[in-house]
Amino acid sequence: MSTMLLFPGQGAQAVGMGRELAEGLDECRALFARAGEVLGFDLLKLCAEGPIEELTKSDVAQPAIFAVSRAARAALAHFAGDKLQVAGAAGHSLGEWAALHEAGVVSFEDALRVLRARGRFMQEACEATPGGMLTIIGLPLDKVQEVAQASGLEVANLNSPVQTVLSGHADRIAAGETAAKAAGAKRALRLTVAGAFHSSLMRPAADRLAEFLQDVEFRPPAFPVWSNVTGKPHGEPADIRRRMVDQVVSSVRWTDGVGDMVAAGMTAGCECGPGTVLAGLVKRIASDVPIASIFDLAGAQEAAKLFS
């Protein structure tokens, strides 16, 4: 079985995430301890107990989701053993860093430091220029692009054939809602986010991230990791570094990436981390590909059955 590992992005955070994994498996508890040492605070306690207001801050949420995703991956390894052969990986926005770590491109410690900084840079960009995001359901991409142009917004996430997210100035979100409904969208939903992620408003964050990444080592991937920016596998380390900067201001081409993974021969997938959002999106992109969601011990045990 050719398996892809998928890692979620910001918005998946929830109080209690990772607690059962850490309580049930020594290797998961050790991961949280290592993460806490790097970050300088008790990450497991924050994930387990909150408060949600602290856990939702971008500079906390991003490394926290990464750590929980890695703990979920460790749980899968515990139950599946060497029966699991990873053929490729991808992550949604910050989740792409977990995918890169899975393939050996960046270290665990470097990924945590990057995501702490990335979250801070993005939060500060949000505070400098108020922005928002709008999920549009039930419109084809060409129509969504027309809505974006008409309302002054940008395409941020191409999540599935029926779900696209727009991003931009806060005062343009209402125009986007109106244009989407006029174009025949089934729904147009404002997202509860700090700002206009994956848009040109994040350029200050991208520029600061580029400088930060100069001191981070990137190694060749052990297996293909699909890029959010291109929807295709990453190339050499220098190219990966550039793409991960571009990713902050570019559309997340999730639909293209999953489609390309399936075309490359992926026959099953495991979503490692809090929530089940990615599994739901994959079902809309490639309904015949089984996807297991792993965020607790039961999920890891059930996913391991795919490889028995």
Instruction: With residue 59 as reference, give the H or E element that holds it.
Output: helix 58-80
Let me know whether 119 and 135 are in one domain: no
Q: What percent of the chain has pLDDT over 70?
A: 100
Burial (CB count within 10 angstroms: exposed 0-12, middle 13-18, buried 19+), residue 284: middle
Q: 212: part of which helix (H) or strand (E)?
A: helix 203-212
Q: Is the dihedral of CA 245, 247, 250, 256 positive or negative?
A: positive
Whether residue 1 is predicted with pLDDT greater than 80 in this model: the reply is no
Whether the CB-CB separation of 29 and 68 falls below 8 Å is answered with: no
Q: Number of structural domains, the chain?
A: 2
Mean pLDDT of 73-85: 91
Per the structure, the complete domain to which residue 21 belongs is given by 3-127+199-307
Note whether 102 and 227 are same-domain residues: yes
Mean pLDDT value across residues 141-145? 95
Give residue 308's pLDDT: 67
Stretch among 164-168, 228-232, 304-308 having the lowest mean pLDDT: 304-308
Q: Identify any residues that bridge with 250 across adjacent strands, giving them in sequence order.
A: none
Q: In a 3-state reduction of DSSP, which class is residue 286?
A: coil
Asked whether residue 276 falls in the same domain as residue 245, the answer is yes
How distant, in Å, are the alpha carbons of 83, 89, 254, 287, 308 from that of 284?
28, 18, 11, 6, 26
Looking at the structure, do residues 295 and 172 belong to the same domain, yes or no? no
The predicted model gives 275-281 an average pLDDT of: 95
Judged against a pLDDT cut of 90, whether residue 307 lies above it is answered with no
DSSP string, 137-160: ES--HHHHHHHHHHHT-EEEEEEE
66 with 115: CB under 8 angstroms? yes
Domain-terminating residue out of 190, 212, 229: 190
Region 151-160: mean pLDDT is 97
112-139 residue pLDDT tens? 999 999 999 999 999 999 999 999 999 9
Helix axis angle, 277-285 to 254-263, nearest 10°: 60
pLDDT at 275: 93
**Domain identity same for 50 and 114:** yes
Is position 101 annotated as part of the catalytic site?
A: no
Run of H or E residues at 87: strand 86-91
Q: Answer yes or no: is pLDDT of 306 > 90.
A: no
Strand partners, 78: none
pLDDT at 84: 85
pLDDT at 82: 81
Q: Report how far residue 178's alpha carbon sits from residue 183's, in angstroms, rounded to the nearest whole number.
A: 9
Q: Are residues 59 and 206 in the same domain?
A: yes
Label residue 157 by pLDDT band (50, 70, 90). very high
Residues 240 and 177 in one domain: no
Listed in sequence order, the residues at least 6 apart from 65 whose beta carbon sits closer than 8 Å to its beta carbon are 8, 9, 10, 12, 13, 17, 94, 95, 273, 274
Task: Spot the catalytic one: 78, 101, 198, 234.
Answer: 198
Residue 268 has pLDDT above 80, yes or no: yes
Question: What's the pLDDT score for residue 217?
Answer: 98
Asked if 24 and 94 sit in the same domain, the reply is: yes
Q: How far apart are CA 95 and CA 69, in angstroms?
A: 8
Look at residue 95 and give its three-state secondary structure: helix
Same domain, 7 and 54: yes
Question: Domain end: 160, 190, 220, which one?
Answer: 190
3-state helix, strand, coil in the chain (%, to 5): 55, 15, 30
CATH of the domain at 150: 3.30.70.250
198 is catalytic: yes
- CATH number of the domain encompassing residue 272: 3.40.366.10
Where among 140, 163, 190 does a domain terminate?
190
Instruction: Please give the pLDDT value at position 172.
Output: 96
Q: Please provide the distance, in angstroms rounded to a whole number, between the alpha carbons at the two ends of the chain.
A: 11
Q: Are residues 251 and 185 in the same domain?
A: no
Q: How do strand 163-169 and strand 154-160 relate by DSSP bridges? A: antiparallel
Catalytic pick from 93, 167, 250, 251?
Answer: 93
59 & 176 share domain: no
Q: Are residues 143 and 206 in the same domain?
A: no
